[in-house]
Structure 1
Amino acid sequence: MDKLDLKILSVLQQDGRASLQSISDKVGLSSTPCWTRIKRMEEAGVIEGYTVRLNPQALGFNDTVLVQVTLDSHSDNTLEKFGEILALIPEVLECYLVSGDYDYLLRVVVKDTKDYERLLREKLYKIKGIRQSRSSFVLRTLKKADLPLGV
């Protein structure tokens, strides 16, 4: 990875739909070497894929909830099964195994508090092995950022 690679990544973070010509112009390369660098970064796993950012509120998901979860057991089997079950719950957007007072931090989107109560009853509370959970509703997002590439 050199400065040109980082510039390419920065352009793609800002606009994943940027044309090859636009990326090339912004980083000061011709199209062929720019394309070669992008393909190399895709193959190396630096670029994991291309996606679109959706506005949750525009789609009716008005609340984001951060859920701290503590499990009864920390066996490999328990952790694996917990992850498999969470993968099947579409409202769970992210799940992190963390250090500290609890085991997992989940980021969940729901339509409203009633929808969250439904999610708890129908899905989360039915997962075996959860000892405790604590929920915090996000009141406002102060920062959303791309990776700090130093470009």
Structure 2
Amino acid sequence: MDKSLDKVDLKLLRLLQQDGRVSNAELAEKANISPATCHRRVERLFSQGVIQSVRAEINPQDIHLGALVIVGVVLDRSTPESFAEFEAAIVRLPVIIDCQLVAGEFDYFLRVRVNDMADFNQLHASQLIALPGVRQIRTFFVMKEVIQHAPLRF
């Protein structure tokens, strides 16, 4: 499926990144297109996978997940099988909000949301060190979130 995007598509994407709850009528007006055209284009962007989802951003402190922890993981082997086994296990941990396979000193970086350091200590002791193939874990407690969920620049 062709995903070529024109200037109108890019404008719609920028506007939706700013406010995903904007009405179709307001979005069409801001993009200077008709509401029907706007609706059709946005639906196409969804069906092509350009827009992957629309969701609410929740204040983590309000739901007792105010501590953000970055975890660097080193596996004991660098094989496709060990990566697959680790990834299959990590997706089953709902406290993990991001997991990236990286090049360099670590194999993976995890972003974890917990209530506090005691919660993380429990998670570390009961689940993280028990993940398959884990040789080393390095933990970084985030002191201040300077940029969060920044829109993509294009």
Q: Which runs of 4+ in 1 moved over 4 A?
A: none
* Superposed CA offset, 1:12-31 (max 9, x none): 11111111101101110001
Q: What residue in structure 2 maps to residue 147 of structure 1?
A: 152
Q: Is the CA contact 2:129–2:137 (under 8 Å) kept in the aligned structure 1?
A: no
One-letter amino acid of the counterpart of residue 53, structure 1 = E
Identity %: 36
- SS of the aligned residue for 2:49 comes to coil
1:71 aligns with 2:75: yes
* Structure 1 counterpart of 2:94, from 90, 114, 134: 90
One-letter amino acid of the counterpart of residue 152, structure 2 = L
Q: What residue in structure 2 maps to residue 60 of structure 1?
A: 64
Q: What residue in structure 2 maps to residue 103 of structure 1?
A: 107
Q: How far apart are residue 87 of structure 1 and its match?
A: 0.8
The separation in 2 between residues aligned to 1:27 and 1:128, in whole angstroms, is 49
Name the TM-score, length of structure 1 as normaliser: 0.95
Q: How far apart are residue 104 of structure 1 and its match?
A: 0.4
Q: What residue in structure 2 maps to residue 36 of structure 1?
A: 40
Q: What residue in structure 2 maps to residue 81 of structure 1?
A: 85
* Structure 1 counterpart of 2:28, from 24, 28, 47: 24
* Structure 2 counterpart of 1:51, from 55, 74, 91: 55
The separation in 2 between residues aligned to 1:126 and 1:36, in whole angstroms, is 48
The separation in 1 between residues aligned to 2:89 and 2:9, in whole angstroms, is 37
The number of residues matched between the two structures is 149
The separation in 1 between residues aligned to 2:20 and 2:92, in whole angstroms, is 27
The separation in 1 between residues aligned to 2:26 and 2:89, in whole angstroms, is 42
The separation in 2 between residues aligned to 1:10 and 1:122, in whole angstroms, is 42
Q: Which runs of 5+ in 1 are unaligned?
A: none
